[in-house]
Amino acid sequence: MIKYSLQCAENHVFDEWFTNIAEYDEKQASKMLKCPICGNNLIKKAIMAPAISANTAPCGEKNSPCSSCCSCPHAN
């Protein structure tokens, strides 16, 4: 599942879930997406902030933020 933040032509922003990227593309192309606030079907992806992991494992431990980092001396 993929969650996109969408925006209509009236600048209403809302979230929508899709099973995959192709589902969004298909619904967008066929104008099946509608704003839940005003019903407008001119929809585009809104700017989204990336999800950041809240991993708090100490440096050097398995699954720590440094476990895949190439600049940390503790990297695996």
Let me know if residue 57 belongs to a domain.
Answer: no
Q: Is the pTM of this model over 0.85?
A: no
Residue 29 vs residues 8, 24, 54, 61: alpha-carbon distances, Å: 14, 9, 36, 46
Please list the alpha-helical segments (H only) found in 1-76. Answer: 21-29
pLDDT at residue 59, as a whole number: 56
Distance CA 76, CA 68 (A): 6
Q: What is the pLDDT along the chain (76 residues), one digit of tens a residue?
A: 999 999 999 999 999 999 999 999 999 999 999 999 999 999 999 987 676 766 555 555 555 555 555 555 555 4
pLDDT at residue 47, as a whole number: 81
Distance CA 27, CA 49 (A): 23
Tokens representing residue 16 in the block: 């929508």
Let me know if residue 10 belongs to a domain.
Answer: yes
**Residue type for 16, please?**
E
Let me know if residue 71 belongs to a domain.
Answer: no
- What total number of domains does the chain contain? 1
pLDDT at residue 42, as a whole number: 96
